[in-house]
Amino acid sequence: MTLARTALWPLPRRSRAARAPLPLTVALLGLAGAALIILPLAGMGTRVAWGRLPELLSSPSATAALGLSLRTCLASTTICVLLGAPLALLLSRQWRGVRLARVLAVLPMTMPPVVAGIALLATLGKKGVLGGVLDAWGMRIAFSTTAVVIAQVFVAMPFLVVTLEAALRSRDERAEMIARTLGAGPWRLLVRITLPMVGPALARGTALALGRGLGEFGATIAFAGSKEGVTRTMPLAIYLQREEDTATALALAVVLIAAAALVVGATTVPWGTLLQRWLLPAGRSPAPSGTEHPSALPPVPMPASQDEPALPHTQRNARRLPLTISFTSAERDVSVCLEIGAGRRLALIGPNGSGKSTACLVAAGLLDATGGEVRLGERVLDGTGFVPAGQRGIALLSQEPGIFAHMSVLENVAFGPRCQGLGRRAARERARAELVAVGAEHLAGRSGGALSGGQAARVALARALATSPRALILDEPMAALDAGARQEMRSLVTRRASEEGLTVLLVTHDVLDIASLADDVVVLEAGRVVERGEAARVLSAPGSDFTARLTGMSILMGTAAGSREDPRVDLGAGMVIHGRPDQEVREGEPAAALIPPEAVALYEEAPSGSPRNALPAVVRTVERSGALVSVGLESGGHRLAASVTAAAVAQLGIAPDRELIAIIKAVEVRVVPRG
């Protein structure tokens, strides 16, 4: 029992040094407030005939009051949930007049209970606004059990609405956004994502509404009266019997206090943890978060899974579709036109606030493409018509994986196929196949909220690909990962995009992502395209200040060769670049050599000692860069940058068209595999 309690309600001890001290005056005032609450309860306890409680509570009047209170409170609480939850959802959104609506929804909480009863009587009483009509139909509400339920709903529902509406307004909406891109409709989004996210608040609000309805007195006596067995609830019975039968009144009061204590206790239970445990598959328990380092993952399996074999090259080509994104957003001051070739991978780069994420949201269907269109192949997704998110054949991965914490990993990945109409069993089979393909099958039964960063990134990729998209949008999904996990994700994305024939839009600030994933690059600044072209050309000869600052290195494309001890990149025409050891290479596959400018030295003739990396080069540009001079070189059609001193420029006579030998330090060359 102790172990179970520890697992559900962990209470980490904090040292005195970790707690901020309270002023003595504040502590004394707090104790005085506690005494003001506790002393009246203790004083009443001294008057209760504890030994006679069973006898007193079994009297006909007490039994009738208890039974009526329980029945009416259960009915009123059910109505509060059925009406209050939708009302809270409405009030959590932004629309004209919502502030006034929120005030009106909370008004019964501040209204004197007797006034609430009079208001109900004026509306539903025999002579009320609606009471006369209802009475003509044979529906007399005032001074009936129905009136008790209505009075309880009127005064109790605001407690649920306020609690739930506050949780809805403060929730993180990214999970709902991702669910929409996976194809979730309004009902599935509400039931499977939104309500589980605010489940603890809904439970607290329901408990508060139950407690308030159980203790309701003023509105009930004014609207329903006090007829034993019909409208006399426990609060009314206590009030009427406090003089003639004090012992029974105190016994009923003890029951009410105990019920209130249970309700308040229910609001302190960690409902989110309990729901997460109940919703996990039987026999599974979530592993504690952080038990695995993000990069401590099994190697990515290179062959396609047996459940979903890789498509032949001709079939993959047939699936590839071009993606066009053209829009203008006056609100965000962004005007962009992107054209991504079928099966190609375009990197969208630029400073923060330049409109990169806006372009991703437009492509995914989460923002309207005003003044333009979004087209995938021949299908218009936005412009003359609008295809909702999740029905476009476009998958979105953002910086936050957005794993649904209340679902298992398997349920996370099966969510998209279920939204597409696949049966539970078929969706789970597809989900397992995708988890196998990303090397995360061992996480299938784990809670979505118990994953490390690298694990969550893999699961998010599997979940996106389980929807069988034709295009993939990557909005910095690897930014939060460490270097090892980032490299594994690059290899995984490259392989899966190639297997599926996906057209890819990549947003990144990492030059390694561009070098290993992108075919083309578009640079955004201030919401406008300032540069575009093939990745090798843009990175090796940047035309914008941002690209120049981002790269700071040369990227030479070629074919991987050698081994882990001696990785090489074959540039063609007999030119080879050696990299530093202990780098993974796959013989014959595309690769890039990343060379920082400071690793390049220039000579008139090759120095003695036969350096490993010696390339003939022609000077193309010479520019001052701080205390150094940046020299742009061309070697066998490849662009190369070097940083040298002003003295070296003068000594070597460095000028455009000058032929030199570029010596590159192998220990500073990084070899990156490409798709």
In Å, the largest CA–CA distance within the chain is 116
Between the CA of residue 561 and those of 299, 432, 566, what are the distances in Å?
21, 35, 9
Q: What is the CATH number of domain 41-279?
A: 1.10.3720.10
pTM: 0.72
Q: Where are the beta strands (DSSP E) in 377-480?
A: 379-382, 394-398, 471-475
The 10 Å CB-count burial string (b at 16+, else e) for 284-304 is eebbeeeebebbebeebeeeb
636: left (phi over 0), alpha (psi -120 to 50) or beta: left
The 10 Å CB-count burial string (b at 16+, else e) for 448-460 is bbbbbbbbbbbbb
Report the pLDDT value the prediction gives residue 540, as an integer from 0 to 100.
Answer: 67
Report the pLDDT value the prediction gives residue 285, as an integer from 0 to 100.
Answer: 43
Of 362, 364, 375, nearest to 327 by C-alpha is 362
Report the pLDDT value the prediction gives residue 310, as an integer from 0 to 100.
Answer: 41
Fold of 553-673: OB fold (Dihydrolipoamide Acetyltransferase, E2P) (2.40.50)
DSSP for 609-673 reads: T--S-EEEEEEEEEEEETTEEEEEEEETTEEEEEEE-HHHHHHHT--TT-EEEEEE-GGG-EEEE
Fold of 313-393+469-548: Rossmann fold (3.40.50)
25-74 pLDDT, tens digit per residue, is 999 999 999 999 899 888 888 888 888 888 888 888 888 988 999 999 99
Cα–Cα distance, 124 to 129 (Å, whole number): 7
Cα–Cα distance, 472 to 583 (Å, whole number): 28
Report the pLDDT value the prediction gives residue 672, as an integer from 0 to 100.
Answer: 81
313-393+469-548 shares its CATH topology with 553-673: no
Between the CA of residue 123 and those of 19, 88, 116, 145, 399, what are the distances in Å?
54, 24, 11, 17, 54
Of 347, 328, 342, nearest to 524 by C-alpha is 347
Report the pLDDT value the prediction gives residue 16, as an integer from 0 to 100.
Answer: 55
Of 649, 604, 658, nearest to 629 by C-alpha is 649
Residues of the chain falling short of pLDDT 50: 1-12, 281-318
SS3 (DSSP) at 26: helix
What is the residue extent of each domain of the chain?
Answer: 41-279, 313-393+469-548, 407-468, 553-673
Of 673, 572, 670, 674, nearest to 344 by C-alpha is 674
The total of other beta-carbon atoms located within 10 Å of residue 48's CB is 15
